[in-house]
Amino acid sequence: MAFKKIVFIVNPHSGNGATGREWHRIQAAAKARFGTASMSCLTSGPGDATRMARSHLLDGADVIVCVGGDGTLNEVVNGFMDEEGPIRKDARLGFIPNGTGCDFIKTVSIPRDLEESLDTIQQGHAHLIDLGRLRYGHHHNAPGTRYFHNITSFGLGGEVDARVNRTTKAFGPFISFIWSTLIAILLYGKKTIRLKIDNNYDKEIKIWNVAVANGQYHGGGMRVAPEAVIDDGLFHITVIGDLSLAGVFRHLPKLYNGKINEINEVSCLTGEKVEAFSHQHVLLDVDGEQPGSLPISIDIMPSSLWVIMKNPSLQGNHV
């Protein structure tokens, strides 16, 4: 497929610096396929990818390609959106996964191999996916709004993110996340929250973690929402409730093998709007980043973004 303008937004620090080290090879492969239609922008700090994506979309880019991990992808997704929805409904998002987690590609058909991912982008098959729109408490007491493509969680997930993002990722995603998870479980403890889902669920509950999911995986491979679908117009909400510490460790494998819903203290729900409040300090995990804390309000934004993927076979719209 021919594109008039394709922009690669690259996080050189993703993958513990691997993207920066490999960028010349990636850039050469991209130029061979897209020639003068392509250009690249390297980020230098938080928020750069959002600003770059929005600027190039408003300047007429057909495709924005994110090169990095789930956190960078989240920033690029936010560049496609404003407070009300997509700023360019016709534009497409491509992804070359090269980060610590890259959990989103475990749900959708985006290959991790560089040549395959570039082939997929060149073919240009796109699928229309849902997004979540999150309004939350910010670290500096100013409210924030953010979109997410994969999973927002709160509780233990936010604590794990905070630890992963301030420690080395040199041992790879699984070790980084599982080590941070084990430490967080030992030091964290359960939180009491009030959780509201649509107009049919409103309870004060004690939790380890709540995942509001569009995709199925987060945290370096934890399959916290095995029934989640990216285009069904619903969140799949997994509540890990009042488990004992021993119970958490006993059931930890079920976080990875898709059997989490077999745990008695786990509830699996669906809905279009989720609200949560707490008198305690409860951190957020938004697509692998830790932007703030409760309270939150989350709305589903159906069919909001065209994402390029390999031979889309999901239900719903694709081209």
Q: Is the per-residue pLDDT at 313 higher than 60? A: no
Q: Is the per-residue pLDDT at 7 higher than 50? A: yes
pLDDT of residue 187: 76
DSSP-assigned beta bridge partners for residue 246: none
Residue pLDDT, tens place only, 199-240? 999 999 999 999 999 999 998 888 999 999 999 999 999 999
pLDDT of residue 162: 63
pLDDT band per the 50, 70, 90 thresholds, residue 315 = very low
Location of structure tokens 């041992």: 171
- Residue 251 φ/ψ region, left for φ over 0, alpha for ψ in the -120 to 50 degree band, beta for the rest: alpha
pLDDT of residue 15: 80
Extract the tokens encoding 214: 């569009």
pLDDT of residue 166: 59
In Å, the largest CA–CA distance within the chain is: 58
Q: Which of 291, 222, 300 is nearest to 260 (CA)?
A: 222
pLDDT band per the 50, 70, 90 thresholds, residue 188 = confident
pLDDT of residue 156: 86
Query: Which carries the bigger pLDDT value, residue 311 or residue 53?
Result: 53
Residue pLDDT, tens place only, 26-72? 999 999 999 988 999 999 999 999 999 999 999 999 999 999 999 99
Extract the tokens encoding 55: 């600027």
pLDDT of residue 86: 96
Q: How far is residue 164's CA from residue 315's CA, in Å, rounded to a whole number?
A: 35
pLDDT of residue 316: 46
pLDDT of residue 151: 97
Of 142-156, 157-171, 245-259, minimum mean pLDDT range: 157-171
Give me the chain's average pLDDT, please: 89
pLDDT band per the 50, 70, 90 thresholds, residue 314 = very low
Q: Is the per-residue pLDDT at 25 higher than 90? A: yes
pLDDT of residue 289: 87
**Helix %, strand %, coil % for the chain, to 5?**
30, 35, 35
Q: What is the mean pLDDT of residues 243-253?
A: 89
Q: Which domains does the chain have, with CATH numbers?
A: 6-130+304-308 (3.40.50.10330), 132-303 (2.60.200.40)
Query: Which carries the bigger pLDDT value, residue 157 or residue 96?
Result: 96
Q: How far is residue 224's CA from residue 107's CA, in Å, rounded to a whole number?
A: 12
Query: Which carries the bigger pLDDT value, residue 223 or residue 314?
Result: 223
Q: Is the per-residue pLDDT at 294 higher than 60? A: yes
Q: What is the mean pLDDT of residues 268-281?
A: 97
Q: Is the per-residue pLDDT at 138 higher than 80? A: no
pLDDT of residue 170: 52
